[in-house]
Amino acid sequence: MHIKDIAAGLLASTILLATPALAASVVDPTGDFLPTYTAGPRLADLDVTGFSVNYNSVLQFFTLGATFAGDINPQTPGLYVFGVNTGTGTARPFAAIGEPNVIFNQAIVIQKDGTGVIGTNVLDPASISIAGNILTARISLSLLPSTGFSPTQYGFNLWPRIGLGNNNQITDFAPENATLSVAAVPEPATWSLMLVGFLGVGLAARQGQRRTVLAAARRV
């Protein structure tokens, strides 16, 4: 295949891979219920095994995704709280249970029946999906206005609870003692452009070597 064809193919791949979305995720161990959780049974659907945050900068919405050790059962107690730091996060209510770096100034509360709220704003049920052990929520940026951070800097943490009361009702945190942000994750287009750039350097060097060989052959 001609070198130009290879470069053109890679450039086309770069365009196809280009996306306005950024994403970050964490894996959480199974069965790591907090030792301070003493308010109820250890339900599998309150044990986080994975948490992800995706931000679409063109359509301006977040997609929050979570997986659990068992299927979400609306017939059992429990709910899911996503804490969000949009820039002025000062709430640090979990230091006493070993999670002082879980900081937030907004909270998204989603019930096991697929309903949810952000403060006094009721979420569109169509924006929440529960399928087996997977929970997905699409949250418009307009519902999480910035208080200093750009959207890619927003910090997120998920903590299931068996009820809205004391901290001994919290079963798990994801990520542990931290927040998750997409700010440090390059867009796929960035990686692709870097790849094309590296290839271009390599091809240029190869063509230079070929010219040197041909010139030497002519002199012989």
Q: What is the mean pLDDT for each group of 10 consecutive residues in the chain (220 residues)?
A: 45 43 95 97 98 96 98 98 94 90 96 97 97 98 97 98 95 97 62 43 49 48
**DSSP E strand boundaries for the chain:** 21-27, 48-56, 61-68, 79-85, 106-111, 116-118, 121-122, 128-131, 134-140, 155-161
The rounded Cα 45 to chain-centroid distance in angstroms is 20
Contact 66, 172 (CB under 8 A): no
Q: pTM of the full predicted structure?
A: 0.77
Predicted pLDDT at 131: 98
Predicted pLDDT at 209: 53
Predicted pLDDT at 10: 40
pLDDT digits (tens, 9 = 90+) for 190-217: 434 434 444 443 444 455 555 543 444 4
Predicted pLDDT at 43: 98
Q: Say how far apart CA 155 and CA 105 lie, in whole Å.
A: 10
Predicted pLDDT at 21: 77
